[in-house]
């Protein structure tokens, strides 16, 4: 089970996940037909491949989204500025909470990565 090892080891890329989804879909379809359309049998066969199942408790929220939601819910002021430092994108995030300013500047290979790193630090 090469796909399973990659998923469990968190060393997967979108391409391998895409291929694994086709594998699981084909397996589920074959078991469904062979079992006489018994959904319980399909679930019992496919579940071990999918474990550990992602739930709301086990999933991590993306740092940028988490910071956005926190600032929106608590009415914190948030400022984001983007610049280039030595040709690399740089993102500065500043959040003001009760008069205290939390600020971080990060560089990354692209703007998205820099923003994620800065948001993680500010959190």
Residues with Cβ within 8 Å of 31's Cβ and at least 6 positions away in sequence, in order, are 41, 42, 45, 46
The residue assigned the tokens 């040709």 is 87
| 10 has a pLDDT exceeding 50 | no
Of all residues in the chain, what percent carry a pLDDT higher than 70? 85
- Give residue 16's pLDDT: 63
111 or 54, higher pLDDT: 111
Distance CA 105, CA 110 (A): 14
Q: Which carries the bigger pLDDT value, residue 84 or residue 17?
A: 84
Residue 35 phi, psi dihedral angles, 5° rounding: -90, 5
- Would you list the DSSP string of 26-59? HHHHHHHHHTTS-HHHHHHHHHHHHPSPP-TTTP
List domains and CATH numbers for the chain: 17-54 (no CATH), 63-122 (3.30.160.20)
Q: Inform me whether the pLDDT recorded for 9 exceeds 70.
A: no
Q: What is the value of pTM for the model shown?
A: 0.57
First to last CA, the chain: 38
CB 95 within 8 A of CB 101: yes
Using pLDDT thresholds of 50, 70 and 90, give the confidence band for residue 47. Answer: confident
């Amino acid at each position: 089970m090469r796909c399973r090892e990659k998923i469990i080891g968190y060393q997967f890329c979108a391409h391998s996940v895409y291929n694994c989804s086709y594998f699981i879909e084909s397996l589920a379809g074959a078991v469904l037909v062979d079992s006489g359309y018994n959904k319980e049998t399909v679930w019992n066969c496919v579940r071990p491949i999918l474990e550990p199942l992602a739930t709301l408790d086990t999933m991590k929220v993306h740092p940028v989204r988490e910071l956005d939601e926190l600032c929106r819910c608590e009415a914190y002021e948030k400022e984001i500025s983007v610049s280039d430092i030595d040709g690399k994108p740089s993102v500065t995030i500043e959040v003001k909470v009760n008069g205290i300013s939390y600020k971080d500047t990060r560089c990354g290979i692209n703007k998205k990565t820099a923003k994620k790193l800065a948001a993680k630090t500010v959190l």
